Each structure stands twice: as structure tokens, then as C-alpha cells.
Structure 1
Amino acid sequence: MTLLAHGLGGAADLPIPLTYALIGAAWALTFSFAVIAFAWREPRLDPESPGIALPSGLRSVVDAPTLRAVVAAVSVVAFGTVLAIGVVGPADPARSPVPGVVYVFLWVGVPVASLAVGPVWKVLSPARAVHRALCAACGRRPETGLLRYPESWGRWPAALGLLTFVWLELAAPDPGSVTAVTLWLTGYLVVAGAGLIVFGTTWAERADPLEVYSSLLGRLSPVGRGAGGALVLRSPLANLAGTPVGAGSVAVAATLLGSTAFDSFSLFPGWRGLVSGAGDAGLPATLVSTLGLLVFIGVVGVGFRFAAAAAGGLSSADRRLLPRRLSYTLTPIVAGYVTAHYLTFLVEKGQATVILFADPFGAGWNLLGLADRDIAYVLSAHPALLGTIKVLAVVTGHILGVAAAHDRCLRLLPPAHRLTGQLALMLLMVGFTFTGLYLLFDA
């Protein structure tokens, strides 16, 4: 089993020609911008809107201290077990579930679950669980750390943490190495725990890469919190409008979007040949892959900064702040690409990972009879359906991104520049649409 083969199909997966998909997607995005521009003239997205209240009993269950404590205990035990498997279990990635736990469940499953029900990593995080237990034993509040988190750091630590992960996945010499994955997971847990002790829960909210990722996509969930913390159903775009932003917000979005694009690009035979040829010429293949990854992330980040700041009628200081204030509008695009790019990976490689838990320590076990189970290729066996889902995911993400950006621009830009100030962003998103679909279906 090769976990890094994401189960992506090529252009043959599409039920329509690739060219038609590209043109149709660009027209859909452009037409939606035109409709939004003329029919949506005042800000509408309010993250404080009351929404539709869910039963109070549901909140009592979800927020019950006993349930939270049980989930925390299970999380700590589960991650301890995964680390133990990584240390003393099989070193062969085809026999170890550790790479699958990290690449499939943590990197893909947690964000997808967050899209459905909100930022689940806040509840599942083993670092948070251990930190809460230590604070309870010491009589301290989890929110309070030894030091104040520097405002200038913003989300830069989270962006750096995300970069280390995507580098491991896409540019490291042996991404599937059980040892390498175990070391990354160990390092993540150590840094997350130390950050919580030193800076309190602010570290988790702003600097923990997995929590920042989960919380970012969780803003697109229809489930939100209303007055007094009540659970409500609210427009995902309204929830998204309440996304906190700051220094490093653009870097986080660019890392997520650029790395996903590079993942698809790296499947092209031409790129593989270049990497292989560089190795034969004495230039480390890892260096070439690292440079390619950084170029993709840089193009997304720099392109967005220029497009977001291309608005008139603002002071230089306000224009410099526009990219970070608009950075969250890339979240729907990230969500669309994650769904399109990793869907088969999550569904089918996720099954393969579960099956490997039949004998996690290589002792000849067959726990719960898992070794006798076969993978159900429910998506790969239906390429037309898979291709349609990919197109819809990408296009829907871009349309929602345009809508979110338009609403925010109505709040930030002077009336005379509300439309013209968005044109560069619209063109950038059309470019993202073309590039994303091409990479997904022609790789």
C-alpha cells in the first residue's frame, strides 16, 4: 500500500471533456461575480446573526464535562498507542498504520470533519487534554500561560508548522517512512504541549498548525455558536465572516492552497523526470522538490497579496492590511481543493489504514478480524461520479470565495471603489479555477 498515492484520477475521470470543464468553471465564476456585484450591494454576512437554535439538550450533551473528559482520555490513549506503534511496530509503511493515521486521518479527516460540525481538533487535541489535566492539578486556568503570546507572531508559527508537514509529505526523501512520520508527530506534540504551558490556550488557537487548520475550515460549517454559547445553524458564509485574522493569515492560506496544487503538479511525468534527472546530475532531488513546493506556495501568497491590495481610495496603511483582512476568503477555495484532491484518499486509503490496525505491532494478530476485510473502492470504481464531485467541489469553493470576498470588500472599500477594487481578486480566482482543475484532471 502506497499511502501517498492519493487515488487521484486523470482527465479520463471526467464525464465531459476537460476543456469544457475549464471553460464552464471560469464562466460560472465570472457570471456569479457579475450577479453578486449587482444584486449584493450591502454587507449581508453577520457572524453574530441568531441563526436557527438547535435543541438545548444537544448542547448539554456536546458540552457535558463527562463526555469531554472521556473524549480527551481516549485521544491521549489513542495517540500514545500510535506513537508506540511507530517506535516498536513494523518499520515497513505497507504494514504500519502510523503513516495512514497522520496523512489520512489527521491531515484530511480532521479538516473534513471540521467542515461538517466545526473545529473538532479543539476537542480531540491530546496536547490540549494533557494541558487541561496539568492545569487542573496545579489549580491554574488553561487560558493563562507563563508568558503573554506576542501579537506580532500572529499565525506565523502555525504557517511554519503547516510547512513542515507539507514538506514531509511532498518533498522529504522518504515521506512514507514510519520513523519520519513518528518523529514529526512526536515533535508536533512536544511543541504543542510546550506552547500551551508557556502561552496558554492562545498558543493552540493561533500557533498550533492542526488546530488553526481545523478552526479555519470549521468556520465553513453550518454549526455555530450563538448567544451564551448556544448551538445554532447559521449560513456557513456568515460563520466564515467571523474568522479572526492577523499576521501570518495569508501565509497559512497560501501554504494550504499552494501545497495542494503542488501535490497535483508533482504527479506530472515532466516534473517527475526533472526531479529524477536532478538526482542523476548530483543535485539532491529533495532540494528540487522543496524549491518547487516553495514556488507554488509563494505564487499563491504573493499573487493574493497583490490582488487583494489592488484597490484605490485607501491610505497606504489600510491597503497594506487588506490582504490579511481578506485572507479568510480563500478558505472556501482551500475547502474545495481539499475535497476534490483528497476525497478518494480519505475514503479508500482510510479503509486501508484501519485494516492495518489488525496487526499494528507485527505480532501476527488479527484484531476484530480486520485482516480479512477488503477495501471497497466506492469512488474509484465510478470515475464519472468522482469527476463530477471534483468539478463541483472546486467551482463551489471558488463561488463561495468570491461571495465572501465581495461582502468583505463592501465593508472595507470606499463606495466608489467597491467593484473596481475586487476585479484583481476576481481575475486571480478565475486563474485559480483554471489551474486547479487542470492540475486535478490532467495530472
Structure 2
Amino acid sequence: MTLFAHGLGGAADLPIPLTYALIGAAWALTFSFAVLAFAWREPRLDPDSPGIGVPEVVRSVVDAPVVRAGIAAMSVVAFGMVLAIGVFGPADPARNPVPGVLYIFLWVGVAVASLVAGPVWKVLSPARAVYRGYCALTRRRPENGLLRYPEAWGRWPAALGLFTFVWLELAAPNPGSVTAVTLWLTGYLVVTVAGLVVFGTPWAERADPLEVYSSLLGRASPIGRGAAGALVLRTPLSNLAGTPVGAGSVAVAATLLGSTAFDSFSLFPWWRALVSDAGLAPTLVSTLGLLVFIGVVGMSFRFAAAATGGLSRADRRMLPRKLAYTLTPIIAGYVIAHYLSFLVEKGQATMILFGDPFGAGWNLFGSADREVAYVLSAQPAVLGTLKVFAVVTGHILGVAAAHDRCLQLLPRAHRLTGQLALMLLMVGFTFTGLYLLFDA
């Protein structure tokens, strides 16, 4: 099983020439901004709106303590089994499902589930489950750690954790190594549980890379929480407007967006030749390339978000972190476009490997002879259209979210001109993203 062919497909998969797709996407984005500028003149997105209440029977089941406890127990057992398979299972990643668990189910599956159902990792997290057990034994409130989480840290620890993952996936010498993946998963569990013990649940909310990732994309879900924490349905943009902001928010968004772009870029033959010809330093070259992509996304967004008049220098410096969440729909669009076929098809291959996780000749679930159904790769035109639709929709929603927040943050005289640099940047992201997806 080859896990790392993320950018499945190319320009030939599109039902129209790539140039037309690029021009059409840019026009769609520009036209949407023009419509917003004239038809959306006051802030409309309210994360505290009552929404539509979810039926009581659904709420009672989802929030039932016994259900939450059962999910937590299964999460700990499942994570422990994955670590055991990583240690005692086959060393060949083509026969071991552990790399697929990390790269497919945890990275892509949790993201897609969060877009549908909200921040699911808060419920599925084995680290939170272990910590809740520890708090029950010590009779301690989960939100209270030994120390107070430093506000200045913000989400920087999560950004660093996310970078360790994307580095392992995109720049490490052997990203498919079962040992390397198992070590990352073990390190993630140890660091997260230790952080929870020291700082309480604020560590999970701000420093756990998987929870921050899941919570960020979960804000783009139609499912939210209303008064007293009740489940409600709202427009995704209204939920998105309630995204917490703080230090490190731009770094998290830049890491997610820049690494996805670099993943596509790394498939260019000339880049792969450059890396392979780097002698003893291919990992260094790949690491520098990854850092450049993340840095360009972060710095360009900081410049575009702060390029407005009518505000003091201190207020302008705060704009990037206050607008960083508006990149979430764009990140979601690229996740779907870049990894959809990967999730559907390589996910099947990973599940098949669970039929014999320890290489002992087992045939659990009767899956040994099952073949992967390439339902998306077999329809390249459909897949190409889905990719373009996901990217363009993500950018349009990002423009709408940014426009609404700018109406709140910018002086009335600069509400439109203050958004122009951000709008141009998003057009550039659209062009670059589609080009990398289909021409790499």
C-alpha cells in the first residue's frame, strides 16, 4: 500500500482546460466580493444566535455521560491497540495499518468528521479520556491544572505540534516508517497527557495539535452549541464567527495551509529531482521547502490583513490574529480537494490491513481477499470537478467570513479599501492552489 500519493489526478482530469478553471475561479471570487461589498454592508454573522434546536432525543443521547464514557473507553483501548500494532506488528508499512491510522484516519478522517459534526476530537481524544480518569481518581476538576496556562503561549504549542506532524509526513527521511509513526503517536499521547496534568483542559483547547485542528474545522460545521451548551444547527459561517482568537492563530492556519500547498508542490518532477540530488541533505532541503511555504502563507496573510488605514499601529498588528479564522473555509476546501480520494481509497486499504494487524496470517473480518474499490480515481472528471468546487467554495466562504469581520473591525471609511489586499491575496491563493493541485 502506497500511502503518500495524495495529489491523485492532474490537469487532464478536469472537464475543462486548467487555464479556464483558474480564470473562472478568480472571476467567481472577485464577483462574490463585489456582491458582498454592495449587498452586505453591516455585520450579520452571530455565533450566539439561537439557531435551530436539535431534537431532545438526539441531544440526550449525544451528551449522555454513559455514552461519553463509553466512547472515551473505546478511544483509549483503540489507541493502545494501535500502539501495540506499531511495536509488535510488521515493520513493512505495506503490511502494517499504523501509518494509515495516522495519515488517513487521524489527519484526514477527523478533519472531515469535524466539518460535518463539529469538534469531534474533544470526544474521541484518548489523552482527554486518560486525564478524566486521573481527575476522577484524584478528585480534581479537569479545568484546574497544577499551573495556569500562560496566555502569551496562545496556540503556539499547537502550531509546533502540527509542524512536527507535517514535517514527519512531508520532509522526514522515511515518513512511512512504522517506527517513526509509532514514536510520533506515543510522543503525542505523552506530551498531551502531561500538558493536561500540568495545565488542565486549557492545554487541550490551545496546545493539543489534533484538538486545535479538529476544533478549528469544527467551527465550519453547521452543528454548534447554544445557551447552556445545547446542540443547535446554525449556518456554518455563524459558527465560524465564534472562533477564539489569540497568539499563534496565524501560525496554526499558515501551517495547515502552507503544508498542504507544499504537499502538492513536492510532486513536481524537478523538485523531486532536486531533493534526490541533494546528497546527504534531502531532508534538509525538504524541511527548508516546507518552512518557506508555511512562512510565505503566514507573512503574506499578516501583511494583507493589516494593510488598512484608519487604525493605530497597535490595532493593525492585532488584525491578523483576529482574521486568521477566516482562512478556515479555505483550509477545509483544500483538505477535501487534496485528500478526498486518499481518504476514501487508501482508507479502505488501511481497513483491509487490520484483518491481519500483527502479520500472523489472520483473516479477521474476512477481509484478507478484499480489493480496494477505486470509486473516485475511476471517475477522474468527477474527481477533478469536486476538487475545483471544494477549493472555490472554500475561498468564497472565506471571503464572506473576512468581509463580515472587517465590517466589525475596520473604520467605516476603510471597510472596503481595507479588504482589498486580503481579497487579492485570496485570489492568489486560489490560482496557486488550483495550479498545484492539477499541474504538479
Matches within 5 A, 1:48-197: 48-197=48-197
2:199 aligned with 1:199, yes or no?
Answer: yes
| 2: CA distance, partners of 1:52 / 1:70 | 28
| 2: CA distance, partners of 1:29 / 1:188 | 39
Per-residue CA shift, 1:127-166, capped at 9, x if unaligned? Answer: 0001001101111111110000000000000000000000
> Kindly, what percent of the aligned residue pairs are identical?
85
Matches within 5 A, 1:16-415: 16-279=16-279, 282=280, 284-415=281-412
CA contact (8 A) 1:7 1:380 kept: no
Per-residue CA shift, 1:357-396, capped at 9, x if unaligned? Answer: 0100011100011112111101000001000000000000
CA contact (8 A) 1:42 1:410 kept: yes
Per-residue CA shift, 1:418-439, capped at 9, x if unaligned? Answer: 0000000000000000000000
Per-residue CA shift, 1:258-283, capped at 9, x if unaligned? Answer: 0000000000001001111212xx4x
| 2: CA distance, partners of 1:80 / 1:179 | 15
Name the SS for the 1:86 alignment partner.
helix
Q: How many residues are aligned here?
A: 440
| 2: CA distance, partners of 1:8 / 1:160 | 28
Look up the match of 2:3: 3
Cα deviation for residue 18 of structure 1 reads 0.2
Segments of 5+ residues of structure 1 without an aligned counterpart are none
Name the SS for the 1:15 alignment partner.
coil
Segments of 5+ residues of structure 2 without an aligned counterpart are none
| 1: CA distance, partners of 2:436 / 2:426 | 15
Letter aligned with residue 301 of structure 2? F
Look up the match of 2:419: 422
When structure 1 is superposed on structure 2, of 21-30 and 2-11 the one drifting more is 2-11
CA contact (8 A) 2:127 2:193 kept: yes
| 2: CA distance, partners of 1:233 / 1:376 | 34
Letter aligned with residue 430 of structure 1? V
Name the SS for the 1:232 alignment partner.
strand
Name the SS for the 1:278 alignment partner.
coil
Letter aligned with residue 91 of structure 1? A
When structure 1 is superposed on structure 2, of 173-182 and 224-233 the one drifting more is 224-233
| 1: CA distance, partners of 2:48 / 2:270 | 49
CA contact (8 A) 1:340 1:393 kept: yes
Cα deviation for residue 7 of structure 1 reads 5.4
CA contact (8 A) 1:311 1:422 kept: yes
CA contact (8 A) 1:86 1:179 kept: yes
CA contact (8 A) 2:170 2:286 kept: yes
Cα deviation for residue 227 of structure 1 reads 1.1
Per-residue CA shift, 1:173-206, capped at 9, x if unaligned? Answer: 0000000000000000000000000000000000
CA contact (8 A) 2:50 2:232 kept: yes
CA contact (8 A) 1:83 1:182 kept: yes
| 2: CA distance, partners of 1:208 / 1:370 | 34
Per-residue CA shift, 1:237-296, capped at 9, x if unaligned? Answer: 0000000010000000000000000000000001001111212xx4x0000000000000
Letter aligned with residue 180 of structure 2? A
Cα deviation for residue 57 of structure 1 reads 1.5
Name the SS for the 1:141 alignment partner.
coil
Letter aligned with residue 327 of structure 2? L
| 2: CA distance, partners of 1:277 / 1:26 | 37
Q: Which runs of 4+ in 1 moved over 2 A?
A: none
Q: What do you get for the CA RMSD once the two structures are aligned?
A: 0.6
| 1: CA distance, partners of 2:355 / 2:313 | 60
CA contact (8 A) 2:259 2:293 kept: yes
TM-score normalized by structure 2? 0.99
TM-score normalized by structure 1? 0.99
| 1: CA distance, partners of 2:64 / 2:331 | 32
Letter aligned with residue 226 of structure 1? G
| 1: CA distance, partners of 2:8 / 2:391 | 15
CA contact (8 A) 1:56 1:230 kept: no
| 1: CA distance, partners of 2:25 / 2:188 | 38
Per-residue CA shift, 1:62-118, capped at 9, x if unaligned? Answer: 000001011000000000000000001100000000000000000000010000000
| 1: CA distance, partners of 2:436 / 2:168 | 21
